[in-house]
């Protein structure tokens, strides 16, 4: 078997290539990065030397599997056209930066409908995605993240993704599954039976081949709470058995698995904990 793609969302302070070097130090074989500030609309265009430093970083660390996470402000389902347009432009720029940096996936939250209701929100979201698919550069995919369902967030149900994909059966739309969000949204991964049921449902409504990125996080909040609070692996409400099932699921062994647990200083321990589960039968 090839080396598993495992890592974490690494800080990019001082230059995005630093995410690669600090990832390498804790034995990441894949990393997630912000290519711009996640809490601001404004961004500066990439400088050629940034692209060069990032390419060099990939060569020197051997980390070729890189995923970006788009800004949190982006709401592709926003009922306010000005905000939706701003979100659209920001995410399109993210996709361009990814293409330039050789980053294959740009993870994005599916937005909130606010006062519009889920059906209306999904319609707006589908319009945004449809336009993005027309305008986006080659070499990068849209990774739609499974959400916890806080507030009026969309896509905490597999049905929402199946609505999107029925309208837009495009290969460039992938799914980023977040274990904390799935659990908070009511998908129980804790026993072999419930775990199997979740993936049967996912496969029926979305198709397992769409699942191309994993965010591996435990959850501070209980099943179905619809509250998004990450916890370190095995220390939350999900518990270690679910992660054992996940790490030994051959359907996901080629999918990059990235931590977003609360404390960066504990990423290495979390990674080691996940790795120790591989090959373990109960």
| Catalytic residue list contains 105 | no
| Catalytic residue list contains 178 | yes
- Catalytic residue (choose from 4, 97, 210, 215): 215
Q: Return the residue of 100, 118, 228, 270 that touches Zn ion, per CB under 5 A.
A: 228
For 13, other C-beta atoms within 10 Å of its C-beta total 9
Residue of 144, 145, 141 whose CA lies nearest to 133:
141
**CA gap 31, 57 in Å, rounded:** 12
**Residues sharing a CB contact under 8 Å with residue 256, sequence separation 6 or more, in sequence order:** 5, 6, 7, 30, 65, 67, 213, 214
CB of 228 to Zn ion, least distance (A): 4
| Catalytic residue list contains 159 | no
| Catalytic residue list contains 241 | no
Give how far the C-alpha of residue 97 lies from the chain's centroid of Cα atoms, to the nearest Å.
17
Segment lying near Zn ion (by CB under 5 A), choices 2-10, 185-193, 201-209, 228-236 = 228-236
Strands 141-145 and 173-178: parallel
100 or 145: CB nearest Zn ion: 145
With helix as H, strand as E and coil as C, how does 94-159 read? Answer: HHHHHHHHCCCEEEECCCECCCCHHHHHHHHHHHHHHHHHHHCCCCCEEEEECCCCCCCECCCCHH
| Catalytic residue list contains 230 | yes
- Catalytic residue (choose from 4, 97, 230, 244): 230
Segment lying near Zn ion (by CB under 5 A), choices 97-105, 223-231, 236-244, 264-272 = 223-231
- Catalytic residue (choose from 118, 228, 237, 270): 228
| Catalytic residue list contains 251 | no
**CA gap 268, 261 in Å, rounded:** 11
Which tokens belong to 158? 């597999």
| Catalytic residue list contains 119 | no
- Count of chain residues binding Zn ion (CB under 5 A): 2
| Catalytic residue list contains 190 | no
172 or 226: CB nearest Zn ion: 226
Query: Restricting to residues 117-176, which ones interact with Zn ion according to CB under 5 A?
Result: 145
- The residue sitting closest to Zn ion, measured at its beta carbon, is 228
Phi and psi at residue 22, to the nearest 5°: -70, -30
CB of 178 to Zn ion, least distance (A): 6
- Catalytic residue (choose from 9, 96, 181, 210): 181
Residue of 94, 102, 65 whose CA lies nearest to 255:
65
Q: Which residues bind Zn ion (CB under 5 A)?
A: 145, 228
Which positions are catalytic?
A: 39, 69, 72, 109, 145, 178, 181, 215, 228, 230, 260
């Amino acid at each position: 078997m090839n080396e598993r793609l495992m890592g974490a969302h690494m800080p990019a302070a001082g230059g995005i290539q630093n995410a690669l070097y600090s990832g390498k130090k804790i034995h990441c074989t894949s990393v997630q990065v912000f290519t711009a500030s996640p809490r601001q609309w404004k961004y500066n265009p990439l400088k050629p030397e940034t692209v060069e430093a990032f390419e060099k970083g990939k060569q020197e660390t051997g980390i070729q599997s890189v995923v970006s996470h788009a800004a949190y402000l982006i709401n592709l389902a926003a009922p306010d056209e000005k905000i939706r347009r701003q979100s659209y432009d920001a995410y399109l720029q993210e996709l361009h930066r990814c293409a330039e940096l050789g980053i294959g996936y740009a993870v994005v939250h599916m937005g909130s409908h606010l006062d519009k209701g889920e059906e209306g929100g999904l319609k707006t979201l589908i319009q945004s995605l449809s336009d993005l698919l027309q305008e986006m550069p080659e070499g990068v995919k849209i990774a739609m993240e499974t959400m916890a369902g806080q507030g009026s967030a969309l896509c905490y149900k597999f049905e929402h993704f199946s609505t999107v994909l029925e309208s837009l059966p495009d290969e460039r739309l992938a799914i980023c599954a977040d274990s904390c969000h799935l659990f908070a949204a009511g998908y129980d991964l804790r026993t072999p039976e419930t775990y199997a049921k979740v993936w049967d449902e996912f496969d029926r409504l979305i198709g397992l081949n769409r699942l191309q990125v994993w965010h591996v996080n435990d959850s501070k909040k209980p099943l179905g709470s619809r509250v998004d609070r990450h916890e370190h692996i095995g220390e939350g409400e999900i518990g270690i058995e679910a992660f054992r099932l996940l790490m030994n699921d051959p359907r996901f062994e080629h999918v990059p698995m990235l931590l977003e647990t609360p404390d960066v200083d504990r990423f290495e321990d979390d990674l080691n904990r996940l790795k120790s589960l591989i090959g373990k039968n109960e």
